[in-house]
Amino acid sequence: MTVDHTLEARRLTVGYRDRAVLHELDLVVPPGRITAIVGANACGKSTLLRSMSRLLAPRGGQVLLDGKAVHAMPAKQLARTLGLLPQSPIAPEGITVADLVGRGRHPHQGMLTRWRAEDDAAVAEALEATGSVELADRNVDELSGGQRQRVWIAMALAQQTELLLLDEPTTFLDVSHQVEVLDLLTDLNRSRGTTVVMVLHDLNLAARYADHLVALADGRVHAAGAPAEVLDAALVEAVFGLRSTVITDPVSGSPLMLPIGRHHAG
Amino acid sequence: MSADSLIRSSAVDAVARGRRRRANRRRAIVVVLLALIAAAFLVSLVVGRTVYPLDQVLAVVLGQDVPGASFTVGRLRLPRATLAIVAGAAFGMSGAAFQTMLRNPLASPDIIGITWGSGAAASFAIVTLGLGGASVSTIAVVAGLAVALVIYLLSRTGGLVGLRLVLIGIGVAAMLRAATLYVLSKAPQWEEQEAMRWLAGSLNGASWSSAAPAILALVVLGPLLLVLARDLDVLRLGDDTASGLGVRVERTRLLVLVVAVGLLAFATAATGPIAFVAFLAGPIAARLVGTDRPLIVPAALIGALLVIVADFVGQYLLGTRFPVGVVTGVLGAPYLLFLIIRSNRAGGSL
């Protein structure tokens, strides 16, 4: 039922002032799959995600959505195809969950159009998909960290985009809520075919949940592919500068990285 | 499948019900505010040194000639009450727009100096240059925009949003207030009335000719701000989220800034900087209707109500006649203190 949208970066160069963060980076996002971007701190993970969702303008190269440069597309049209959950969204004081999720309908509404039944339906569906129907009338201020993140994801779902970009969606969450959020994103991907691209700092969770792993180092793609194919001790050494052993995760069969460090023999 | 769609339709119903409940509450509050404004408007036409019977007042409003009442009601009270509502609405909308745009209740244009920019320029144009009418309004608008631009450039490096902008704005406001005082003290035709107008804001001497630019500005710029309100509201979720939802962040901010400063400057040219109305209207509106939806309309109504009631109180209920800005100032100052104490506790950085 979904049209598979293609998203790719071509020779993308992005920088702040005189420092280039991404150097002529090439990346193709596989449609209908889950892509995780990993890498050491300051390797340009977030910058890449922010450029792809056009929060940052490239200095060179371009980001193409279905072959068209995202930086030249009308803002609302882009927002109907590509959703974004930034790292620290702000919940206005006193806003209810249903209304926050309703903000996801913004790109589907004109300046003067009224709220329509399909908007209610989209909000309800998003609340249901994230298991937050019973939170609908609560104030966002009162929610726990895990609930809050679910609500933000619900807002991005109400946007009904076929591509969803998330910048570290599991930060500040404890391990059970991290798994809950990643399970939820997997559900979306499987049931709706949503293409998910996320920056993750936990390499093992990325390896478990992603179909496609992109490892960045020094503003370039160091390796990209199925986690089982690209994740090994050499990659961890090159990308994170860390000695490690990579074994097979007994739970999922995906690669599992165990760091070595100075106090334990490999 | 059927059980599934049953659950779904009940969730849709729940969402729709909750939204309708909040919308109804909001509508009810708007209606009550409108009724209160209408009542205050009528009272300020009827009551004064001389109390005119309601039928005479209505006759004057409808354009008939009634000896006595035609002058007092038609030439003095009617333009004054109209200007109170128009200026109050303009201050309220513009204040709420600034506070929403900058995500900070302290960032209203009267606190961060924009109102004072318009006020200082308008007082200079009137008192020193002897100008009047449209040229005063134009000068006030240009000065307001210039001050907004200066504050924007000074606080740009620290990010537009936040305490840095507020602190710079407070400094700018103090300088412009001093400039206003200087202009007034150098004026050959120093008049207490005029001085009070430019220092606290006053409706004394309101006439149709002085009110006309402000009325026109509200009619033209008010609807524009309402059209921008939805984008403005999404900005509250943060620049990144708003951008992800298809809002052109910089463009929206610039448009809102120009429209809000325009509203504010035209009103300021007519009444002077009526203290704290722009600052108070948004938070009071938020307390009443919640912050779910754009606050522009309720803030405009609260602003109008504040000014017309405060003017009535200042004229007749305090023994001596006080300009309206003194009354709103007494209301606003404690709230300002409260906000500063609260942000001090929360952030410890002010």
Q: Tens of pLDDT along A25-40?
A: 999 999 999 999 999 9
Q: Give the C-alpha distances (Å, rounded to integers) separating B343 from B145, B237, B340.
A: 28, 20, 5
**Dihedral, CA atoms, B207, B208, B212, B214, nearest 10 degrees?**
40
Among B241, B256, B342, the residue to mutate for chain A (most A Cβ within 10 A): B241
The predicted model gives B171-196 an average pLDDT of 80
Burial (CB < 10 A; 0-12, 13-18, 19+), residue B19, is buried
Inform me whether the pLDDT recorded for B212 exceeds 60.
yes
Rounded distance between C-alpha atoms, residue B234 and residue A104, angstroms:
9
Q: Is A90 on the interface with B (CB under 8 A)?
A: yes
Interface of A with B in 196-215 (CB under 8 A): none
The predicted model gives A15-32 an average pLDDT of 88
Inform me whether the pLDDT recorded for B144 exceeds 50.
yes
Record the tokens describing residue B225, joined without a space: 């701000």
Among B7, B161, B245, B288, the residue to mutate for chain A (most A Cβ within 10 A): B245
> Contact, B211 vs B201, CB < 8 A?
no
Res A78: pLDDT: 94
> Contact, B275 vs B201, CB < 8 A?
yes
- Our CA-based measurement puts residue A237 at a distance from the nearest CA of chain B, in whole angstroms, of 33
**Which 3 state secondary structure label does DSSP give A195?**
strand
Q: Is A134 on the interface with B (CB under 8 A)?
A: no
Q: Is B246 on the interface with A (CB under 8 A)?
A: yes
Q: Is B292 on the interface with A (CB under 8 A)?
A: yes
Record the tokens describing residue A232, joined without a space: 């090994």
Nearest to B298 by CA among B289, B309, B307: B289
Interface of A with B in 34-73 (CB under 8 A): 50, 53-55
Mark yes or no for CB contact A124/B22 under 8 Å: no
Average pLDDT score, chain A: 91
Q: Tens of pLDDT along B227-243?
A: 999 899 999 898 899 99
Inform me whether the pLDDT recorded for B6 exceeds 60.
no
**Dihedral, CA atoms, B74, B80, B86, B90, nearest 10 degrees?**
170
Rounded distance between C-alpha atoms, residue B81 and residue B208, angstroms:
11
**Which 3 state secondary structure label does DSSP give B101?**
helix
The predicted model gives B181-204 an average pLDDT of 77
Rounded distance between C-alpha atoms, residue A67 and residue A81, angstroms:
13
**Which 3 state secondary structure label does DSSP give B72?**
helix
Of the listed ranges A56-70, B59-73, B144-158, the one predicted with least confidence: B144-158
Q: Which residue of B has its CA nearest to A125?
A: B8
> Contact, A51 vs A228, CB < 8 A?
no
Res A235: pLDDT: 95
Rounded distance between C-alpha atoms, residue B277 and residue B306, angstroms:
7
- Our CA-based measurement puts residue A219 at a distance from the nearest CA of chain B, in whole angstroms, of 22
Quick one: pLDDT band at residue B291, thresholds 50, 70, 90? confident
Inform me whether the pLDDT recorded for B345 exceeds 80.
no
> Contact, A125 vs B8, CB < 8 A?
yes
Q: Tens of pLDDT along A198-220?
A: 999 999 999 999 999 999 998 89
Cβ-proximal residues to B254 (8 Å cutoff; 6+ apart), any chain: none
Inform me whether the pLDDT recorded for B349 exceeds 50.
no
Rounded distance between C-alpha atoms, residue A206 and residue A229, angstroms:
14
> Starting from the edge strand earliest in sequence, which strands make up the sheet with A7-16, in order?
A19-29, A7-16, A60-65, A68-69
Q: Give alpha helix (H) positions in chain B.
A: 2-46, 54-61, 69, 78-101, 114-123, 134-155, 163-186, 192-199, 208-235, 239-244, 249-271, 277-289, 296-312, 324-347
Question: Contacts of residue A107 in chain B, CB cutoff 8 Å?
Answer: 245-246
Record the tokens describing residue A127, joined without a space: 């609340």
The predicted model gives B183-191 an average pLDDT of 74
Nearest to A166 by CA among A177, A174, A155: A155
Nearest to B240 by CA among A58, A47, A35, A108: A47
Task: Give the torsion sign (CA, A71, A77, A81, A84).
Answer: positive
Cβ-proximal residues to B37 (8 Å cutoff; 6+ apart), any chain: B85, B301, B304, B305, B308
Q: Name A34's bridge partners.
A: A196
Q: Which pTM does this prediction carry?
A: 0.88
Quick one: pLDDT band at residue B88, thresholds 50, 70, 90? very high
Mark yes or no for CB contact A76/B234 under 8 Å: no
Burial code of A4-24, b = ≥16 C-beta within 10 A, e = fewer?
A: ebebbbbebbbbeeeebbbbe
Rounded distance between C-alpha atoms, residue B97 and residue B341, angstroms:
23
Question: Contacts of residue B289 in chain A, CB cutoff 8 Å?
Answer: none
The phi, psi pair for B114, rounded to 5°, reads -70, -40
Distance of CA B278 to the CA centre of its chain: 4
Q: Name A213's bridge partners.
A: A36, A225
Average pLDDT score, chain B: 86
Nearest to B97 by CA among B247, B213, B221: B221
The phi, psi pair for B118, rounded to 5°, reads -65, -40
Res B348: pLDDT: 40
Res B1: pLDDT: 40
Q: Whose structure tokens read 């004064």?
A: B48
Rounded distance between C-alpha atoms, residue A199 and residue A166, angstroms:
6
Rounded distance between C-alpha atoms, residue A94 and residue A98, angstroms:
12
Distance of CA B71 to the CA centre of its chain: 29
